[in-house]
Amino acid sequence: MFRYTKMTALREGLVWVAALLTLLPFYFLVITALKPDEELLSTGTSAPPGRPTLENFAEVLTQGGDNNILMALLNSVLITLGSIAGLVAFGSLAAYVLARSTARWGSVTFYLFLIAILLPTQLGLVPLYIGARQLGLVGSVGGMVLLYVGTLMPLAVFLYAGFFRNLPRDYEEAAALDGAGPGRVFLRVVLPLMAPATGTVAILTGLIVWNDFFTALIFLGGSDNQTLPVSMYYYVGSLVSAWNKIFAIVIISMVPILAFYLFAQKRFIQGFAGGIK
């Protein structure tokens, strides 16, 4: 029988304190985004707005040019979804082949993918930029999708391979006995069982692509296909930064990724738990 003791109350209090400390940055984010320009510099950071307004959201959503947030939001969505689709499609295939291979080259290739995870992307940024510029991919949404798929492929292969190695071969052998070919076995049997891994890959890589600033600034800076982090950069001035508008963009950028996480959180938790039902 459960007994509510002093230690239970103490643990609950500590949990509430930790939760409030975690939510504190969101408090500053929201109150700053709701402050008008005249209150931004005249009030304290922790002071709530005296006249809350949504004008900052309306302004950033209606501006054009380099500050076209709606177009930047659309570009971020397209690049993120395209990158996730490519990583799931090619990463799962590559990991399945490596996990099921018994040849020596399979292990060597997998370790090369592991090494690629440790190497920072910035090391190859210059040759990547030169190659993308020669192919006409700089400043395009498709070029960014190819770039992210290539740079994040080692991470996707690593995550998928761990799941494939824990998946019993009985399912595949049963499907093969029923006359299914290798491609059909993978698409109809193996990939549906890998839904937790797919959710993990989609959320982790999606967060990386969605929040990436440096790569998008190099490859999309000055073009018409800028992402949200790059468009946000134009609100940061050398002398005065419009933090109320910057925080409004941050809140806008959080909505799609939070919605995606709420949609895929079950698979994400299953992926970390490593369970296959």
pLDDT tens across 214-259, in order?
889 889 877 888 888 888 887 776 445 678 888 888 888 888 888 8
Supply the pLDDT for residue 66.
Answer: 61
Same-domain check for residues 39 and 70? no
Same-domain check for residues 15 and 133? no
Residue 114 has pLDDT above 80, yes or no: yes
pLDDT category of residue 209 using cuts at 50, 70 and 90 = very high
The reply to whether 170 falls in a domain is yes
Same-domain check for residues 29 and 129? no
Same-domain check for residues 240 and 160? yes
Distance CA 225, CA 179 (A): 47
The reply to whether 118 falls in a domain is yes
**Range 77-88 average pLDDT:** 94
Q: Are 184 and 175 in contact (CB under 8 A)?
A: yes
Same-domain check for residues 100 and 176? yes
Distance CA 75, CA 212 (A): 13
Residue 95 has pLDDT above 60, yes or no: yes
Q: For 63-79, what is each residue's pLDDT tens digit?
A: 766 668 888 889 999 99
Q: For 176-191, what is each residue's pLDDT tens digit?
A: 777 777 777 787 778 8
| Amino acid occupying residue 64 | G
Supply the pLDDT for residue 49.
Answer: 83
Q: What is the CATH number of the domain that holds 209?
A: 1.10.3720.10
The reply to whether 121 falls in a domain is yes
How many distinct structural domains can be found in the chain? 2
Same-domain check for residues 135 and 27? no
Distance CA 158, CA 169 (A): 19
Q: Are 249 and 232 in contact (CB under 8 A)?
A: yes
Distance CA 214, CA 208 (A): 11
Same-domain check for residues 106 and 176? yes
Domain extent, residue 26, equals 6-53
Same-domain check for residues 88 and 44? no
How far CA 275 is from CA of 100, 193, 209, 264, in Å, comes to 19, 10, 26, 15
Same-domain check for residues 23 and 157? no
Tokens of 187: 């698409």
Same-domain check for residues 101 and 143? yes
Alpha carbon 204 to chain centroid, angstroms: 5
Cβ atoms < 10 Å from Cβ of 103? 8
pLDDT category of residue 270 using cuts at 50, 70 and 90 = low
Tokens of 198: 């797919």
Residue 131 has pLDDT above 50, yes or no: yes
The reply to whether 1 falls in a domain is no
Residue 276 has pLDDT above 50, yes or no: no
The reply to whether 266 falls in a domain is yes
Q: What average pLDDT is seen over the chain?
A: 82
Supply the pLDDT for residue 145.
Answer: 94
Same-domain check for residues 10 and 74? no
Burial 228-254 (b: 16+ CB within 10 A, else e): bbbbbeebeeeeeebbbbbbbbbbbbe
The reply to whether 180 falls in a domain is yes
Same-domain check for residues 43 and 178? no
Please compute Rg for the chain using Cα positions.
Answer: 23
Supply the pLDDT for residue 237.
Answer: 63
Q: 51-65, 131-145, 240-254: which has the highest mean pLDDT?
A: 131-145
Q: Reduced to 3 states, what is the DSSP secondary structure of residue 206?
A: helix
| Amino acid occupying residue 102 | T
The reply to whether 191 falls in a domain is yes
Distance CA 215, CA 43 (A): 36
DSSP assignments along 32-87, one per residue: HHT--HHHHTTS-SSSPPSS--SHHHHHHHH--GGG-HHHHHHHHHHHHHHHHHHH
The reply to whether 117 falls in a domain is yes
pLDDT category of residue 110 using cuts at 50, 70 and 90 = confident
Q: For 13-45, what is each residue's pLDDT tens digit?
A: 899 999 889 888 888 888 888 888 888 777 777
Burial 169-190 (b: 16+ CB within 10 A, else e): eeebeebeeeebeeeebbeebb
Helix, strand, coil content of the chain in percent (nearest 5):
75, 0, 25
